[in-house]
Structure 1
Amino acid sequence: MEENKLREAEFMFKAILKENNNNGSALFGLGRICIRLEDFDSAIYYLRRACEHLPKMLDPLFALAHCFNQVGSPVDAKTVLEYTLSIAKHNAQAHYELSQFYLDYGFIDNAKKTLEQGLKCPYGPVSVFMLNELVQIAPVSELEQHLQLLEQLLDTYDNERLKVVAYYALGKCHHRLKNHDQAFDFFQLANDIQLQFCDFKTSAMLPFFHKLKQHFNEDFFKKPTDKVASTFTPTFIVGLPRTGSTLLEQMLVQHSNIGSIGENTILSDAIVPFLEKRSETSYPYCFDNLSTSTKDYCRTLYVEEIKKRRVGDEVVINKLPANFQNLGMIYSLFPEARIIHLTRNFKATAWSVFSNHFAADEPYFCSISEFETYAQAEQNLMAHFNNHIPRNIFTLSYEALLEHPNKMITKTLNFLNQKFEPQCLEYYKDRRSITTLSKAQVRKPISKAPLTSWQPYEKHIIALLNHADETQTNQVSP
């Protein structure tokens, strides 16, 4: 399992079950394999049986709840997690898992109560994750007590990754208390430590972006495109992280004809590997001289992913921001695709990234100077695609969306050939699952606070960028 040799693992688990059909560990193992393969219906079958034969283990229950969420059965997921908590009242992880369910589905008060109860359990690694969630939804009047607990926990942790989460949480606390200098210091500590876990520099990605522009050039876009008979309009929300993709998606999916498959990686995880293996060349060169039948197969992979997610709307959104790197591929497969490019003030975006904990160890998530390199590359690549396929791309400013939501949503819907529906502005009443960093914010009506909340840190942002420039200049000086 650790080596991702799933066929071998499956064979061994099934061999165990031939000897004992009720071996809970083998059933749990098969359930985990099915989760890796995203065969959630089969996973549910195995995990249900595993839970029967491993009554004292919580992990199979957590996995079962996850699968119910994946197949669109939140009521079953909630039942499993509430049952888990009932048999493990003093287990902090059980509280955390249920609180995550409440947060994902917008039950903020329930999440807050569950997190507070979880902090009464014996402290462990999960405690700091609970506090990181709690400090973002608790009233300001309660933040001082959370600050004290965070500082106590910080002294007990030797694990650097746990310290990173604690520093982000402390930064959030001080930010909400308007202690901006202290907030910056903690965010800086969190970013500095997390950056040490990154094993590459953003500059290492620049040759790849250059290849994209070279390959998906004027000659590429001049080639005749296939006539694709599609029952839906593939729509992609792209751009930098923290530019409002979750808010926009949440507003759009309230429309009666619009659905979403979330931040889906089918293009890079399935379609690109298939083409690279078939052509024995890397991306983007694997897109040279594709036959219509090969493209049809790639389109089928995408359609099957949509069916798996049980989305059957006229417009189907994929909101993975990094898909800006895949626009040449998207246009080749779906010439009528709609691409919504979200933009935002650079300093505001950079600060939002800098002050939020991204789990992935990627340098532009934990360094403002690294983020600047990434942002410039994204801007250049989007300018390239805008030049070649302007009809497919609609650029939407996050600031404009907050200032004029009615007007901008109407424009966006027009781009998608849909009429305005008033429920798009009542997105915060919806209870569908949201798992991004913005899941608590989008449960409220539109606020203009993000337009100015970064401004107390402008001097810090400028100082970090200037320091990076000076360092780079010194490195290249004779």
Structure 2
Amino acid sequence: MSQSPPSAHLIAEKLKAIQTFVQQGVFSKVEAEVNALLALDIDTDSRTMAHYLLAVSLRLQQAHTKAIETLHQLLVINAEHARAHQELAYNYRAMGEQQQASVHFYKATKLNPALLSAWQALLPVYQENGQSEALRLCQQQIGKLSRLPKPILAASDLLYDGKVLEADALCRQFLQTNKHSLDALLLLAEIALRLKAIPEAEFVLETCCELAPDNLEAKYELFKIYSKLGKFSKALELTEALCSKDTENVFYQVAKATALVGVGQLKEAINVYLALIERGRAEANVYLLLGHAYKTQGDIALSISAYQNAYQQQRFCGDAYWSLANTKTYRFAEDEVASMLAGTHDPELAVKEKVHLHFALGKYYEDEEQFDKSFFHYEQGNALQSSTLSYSSEKHTQFVQTQINTFTPDLVEQRHEIGCSDGAPIFIVGMPRAGSTLLEQILASHSQVDGTMELHEILGLAATLSKKQGNKPSYPLNLKQIPNDLFAKFGQKFIEETKVYRQGAAYFIDKMPNNYMHIGLIKMILPNAKIIDARREPMACCFSGFKQLFGEGQEFSYSLDDIGQYYQNYERLMAHWDALFPDEILLVRHEEVVADTENQVRRILDFCGLPFEQACLDFHKNKRAVKTPSAQQVRQPIYTSGLEQWRHFEPYLGSLKARFSK
């Protein structure tokens, strides 16, 4: 009989005992206890901790080579472990390998900015090498961490160590007796962001700015939230204030350019990036952002040049290579391929960079019709990306079922026509990579329709309603308890908050695909909104999502099992919405748009109550800014070659195909 795995309590007790042995210097017992623990069936976190404690023990015994070997074993399990990099740095420094030590101290601070000792170790390195910008940032961080109240420093360390709930509890405990502590409030906002409670983070940071209007850190963090929420006008106001207070701060200049891109002032943003480059203040990320700005306005040649400059600044800049691949038209040269392959084998390279490189190589080999190699790199990139996330397919399935159980015909009848009557919004929902950008481009080419972007307002409202308040139910179970008049206010708030993205047309588009989860809520707050379901054949849609590295979100897409389950959940929920709201949701199949464009365009316009305009058929001539991965495709006429691309990879997609063959 196989032994059952040890209980979590027993593992915790064993790790605590090993930690005590390390602290007391009883090193003879550490290795034996760690090896005994690793022989058991224990979870990844416990395995990681066991390796870490063994490595610390070995370093304290000056067995540096063996400690380094142990730490590399740990990094195979968890490549983002900040303290492992700090330990590597201690060992390399003890062995006189200062360059290697500096590399790992730097990596440790990138992964956990609360590691004060790592920052202190970097300080003399930056001083000796005359790295003035790095030195200034290092000194600022040392000063900030040294001034933090000890509970907040400890909570920061917990947060960056992945113990988010523990960090949240410690931070809130401190705030009970220090209500106006700016340090604690800033950390609380960061924790809220990590928990994806973005509206709470926004509220906390706005409170910080009210309490301390001259605090630049609070303004900069609020800028990040506004950018994430797409509130770029507000973000731009903040960056103007930041840049006026600190004219030499590169981060503030980059922030200003980001906000300018957000409000559509691409030329002004590009000028900011070019000025930084001219002044010699640009690192790889500035060239990357410049490339993105050029791509958004359709200048592909200039964007390619900027991306190439980015990897020339930083050899294994994975984002630069992936951005080149993501133009969908770029063809890599042999030396670029060699560099990417070398990066994937570099044990010191960060996981994030390797993820980008694998996805770029996947695209390269796909273009070369070497589909076995292509799938290998897509698979590697997805596996690495998935290892950094905590997506749960089971939780998504439960959420979908809760929506179905909550939104009943009775509830819809009770809350019929209680929302804001404005019919301006057109929601395009569905799976990513299902053709929503194409539909948006078609509609945005109409004289009465403004194209915007993937707006966050509906997701933000759902997140706000989802906050637990004592024993009261949260969204969607709490909808019955919300007073009727609030639904109209929610709808009006959506209309007001989205005005900033519009140019004055009668209608506007919100193409956030994930809004499909909240159609019931949308129909309650905006009963006259138009909803279009962008649908694509499941194999093509799922594999297209699997080989796409998204900027953020879409965490289900990095596993074929997860993306297949997600698609089925989406179909199930959309069937429910269609039954609840008959004739109020237009299903548009991507394959039919490609096969019969004019009739489908006329059908879409009829649904939206719009007269036919030829510009909607000539959508590829529209020069509007497009920020999604499909930006280059929608600037070309309709083509059919993408419909069956997944078939080249059919031998590797057996489990996915079986799911949709049932």
1:435 corresponding residue in structure 2: 627
Mean CA deviation greater in 72-81 or 211-220:
72-81
The question of 1:86 aligning with 2:290 is answered: no
The question of 1:383 aligning with 2:575 is answered: yes
Is residue 88–residue 94 contact of structure 1 (8 Å, CA) maintained in 2? no
Return the index of the structure with the highest Cα Rg. Answer: 2
Is residue 232–residue 316 contact of structure 1 (8 Å, CA) maintained in 2? no
Residues 381, 367 of structure 1: CA spacing in aligned structure 2 closer, same or farther, 3 A cutoff?
same
Give 1:324 deviation, angstroms: 1.2
Is residue 341–residue 396 contact of structure 1 (8 Å, CA) maintained in 2? yes
Q: Distance in 2 between matches of 1:322 and 1:172?
A: 26
1:6 corresponding residue in structure 2: 205
Structure with bigger RCO (C-alpha 8 Å, 6+ apart) = 1
Match of 2:550 among 354, 358, 363: 358
SS in 1 for 2:645: coil
Is residue 540–residue 646 contact of structure 2 (8 Å, CA) maintained in 1? yes
1:214 corresponding residue in structure 2: 405
Identity value in percent: 23
Deviations 1:288-320 (A, max 9, x none): 154342112111211112213234322222111
1:349 corresponding residue in structure 2: 541
1:336 corresponding residue in structure 2: 528
The question of 1:397 aligning with 2:586 is answered: no
2:460 corresponding residue in structure 1: 269
Deviations 1:72-114 (A, max 9, x none): 3223212212212222376322211110101122111111122
Give 1:69 deviation, angstroms: 2.3
1:194 corresponding residue in structure 2: 385
Match of 2:243 among 44, 51, 54: 51
Deviations 1:199-252 (A, max 9, x none): 242122222211111111121233362266645432211111110111110111
Instruction: Map residues 448-463 of structure 1 onto 2, 5 A cutoff.
Output: 448-463=640-655
Please provide the CA RMSD for this pair: 2.7
Q: Distance in 2 between matches of 1:452 and 1:40?
A: 38
SS in 1 for 2:653: helix
Match of 1:260 among 437, 448, 451: 451
Is residue 291–residue 303 contact of structure 2 (8 Å, CA) maintained in 1? yes
SS in 1 for 2:505: coil
Q: Distance in 1 between matches of 2:245 and 2:424?
A: 46
2:222 corresponding residue in structure 1: 33
Letter of the 1:296 partner, please give it: A
SS in 2 for 1:297: helix
SS in 1 for 2:453: coil
SS in 2 for 1:131: helix
Q: Distance in 2 between matches of 1:362 and 1:387?
A: 26
Is residue 175–residue 183 contact of structure 1 (8 Å, CA) maintained in 2? yes
Instruction: Map residues 72-471 of structure 1 onto 2, 5 A cutoff.
Output: 72-88=264-280, 91-123=283-315, 127-137=317-327, 142-156=332-346, 157-223=348-414, 225-226=416-417, 230-270=421-461, 273-274=464-465, 280-288=472-480, 290-360=482-552, 363-463=555-655
TM-score, length of structure 2 as denominator length: 0.64
Give 1:186 deviation, angstroms: 0.6
SS in 1 for 2:315: coil
Give 1:351 deviation, angstroms: 0.9
Q: Which runs of 4+ in 1 moved over 6 A?
A: none
Is residue 427–residue 530 contact of structure 2 (8 Å, CA) maintained in 1? yes
Q: Distance in 1 between matches of 2:392 and 2:241?
A: 46
Is residue 417–residue 527 contact of structure 2 (8 Å, CA) maintained in 1? yes
Mean CA deviation greater in 356-365 or 109-118:
356-365
Give 1:346 deviation, angstroms: 0.9
Mean CA deviation greater in 99-108 or 305-314:
305-314
Give 1:172 deviation, angstroms: 0.6
Aligned residues: 456
Q: Distance in 1 between matches of 2:504 and 2:268?
A: 22
Residues 315, 140 of structure 1: CA spacing in aligned structure 2 closer, same or farther, 3 A cutoff?
closer
Deviations 1:171-216 (A, max 9, x none): 0110011111110111111112222223242122222211111111
Mean CA deviation greater in 183-192 or 455-464:
455-464
SS in 2 for 1:434: coil
SS in 1 for 2:261: helix
Q: Distance in 2 between matches of 1:376 and 1:227?
A: 31
SS in 2 for 1:445: coil
Residues 122, 375 of structure 1: CA spacing in aligned structure 2 closer, same or farther, 3 A cutoff?
closer
Q: Distance in 2 between matches of 1:43 and 1:203?
A: 36
SS in 2 for 1:390: coil
Residues 372, 40 of structure 1: CA spacing in aligned structure 2 closer, same or farther, 3 A cutoff?
closer
1:22 corresponding residue in structure 2: none
Give 1:382 deviation, angstroms: 0.9
Give 1:436 deviation, angstroms: 1.5
Residues 285, 139 of structure 1: CA spacing in aligned structure 2 closer, same or farther, 3 A cutoff?
closer
Residues 63, 397 of structure 1: CA spacing in aligned structure 2 closer, same or farther, 3 A cutoff?
same
Letter of the 1:73 partner, please give it: Q
SS in 2 for 1:391: coil
1:67 corresponding residue in structure 2: 259
TM-score, length of structure 1 as denominator length: 0.87
